[in-house]
Amino acid sequence: MAEALGARNVPRTSLEAERYLARLRPQLHATAAALDSVLFLRRFGRTRRERLVVSLLTNASVGLLPDWARTELGIHRPAPVRTGWDRPLATAVGRTLQWGLGPSRIQAAARGRLAGARQG
């Protein structure tokens, strides 16, 4: 996908990606902007329901970050909570939103472009 978007010399396997990130790791740190973003997401939403949904999706998203990144961002959610609670709930919310919104023309267009790129 990265090459289809114009990137060059990108890792092609998960092992290559892991090695690349391991080389970069000493240079990666949480910035003030990143910490502000975490606070923004933790408080986002006009109503209690909106804040609940954003919280569920945010928790599942940050659960995908490596341990060191969550630590630098001040996010402390135990692994059993991330895998047994956050991910299943976020999946349910996502599927409910997809069902409620119906088919996405944007997704269909993106899939069409991707299929065309693979054939080309």
Residue-range domain boundaries for the chain:
31-119
**How much of the chain, in percent, has pLDDT values that exceed 70?**
99
Contact 58, 42 (CB under 8 A): yes
Number of Cβ atoms within 10 Å of the Cβ of 75: 17
Q: What share of the chain is helix, strand, coil (3-state, %, to 5)?
A: 70, 0, 30
Numbers of helices and strands, H then E, in the chain: 7, 0
pLDDT band at 118 (very low <50, low <70, confident <90, very high): confident
pLDDT greater at residue 37 or residue 119: 37
What's the pLDDT at 45? 92
Could you report the per-residue pLDDT of 93-115, keeping only the tens digit for each?
888 888 998 888 888 898 898 88
Task: Report d(CA 77, CA 42) in Å as an integer.
Answer: 14
**Residue 31 above 90 pLDDT?**
yes
**Residue 41 above 80 pLDDT?**
yes
Radius of gyration of the chain (CA): 18
pLDDT band at 120 (very low <50, low <70, confident <90, very high): low
- Among left, alpha and beta (phi > 0; psi -120 to 50; other), residue 93 is alpha
Average pLDDT over residues 29-39: 94
Average pLDDT over residues 79-91: 90
Number of Cβ atoms within 10 Å of the Cβ of 56: 20
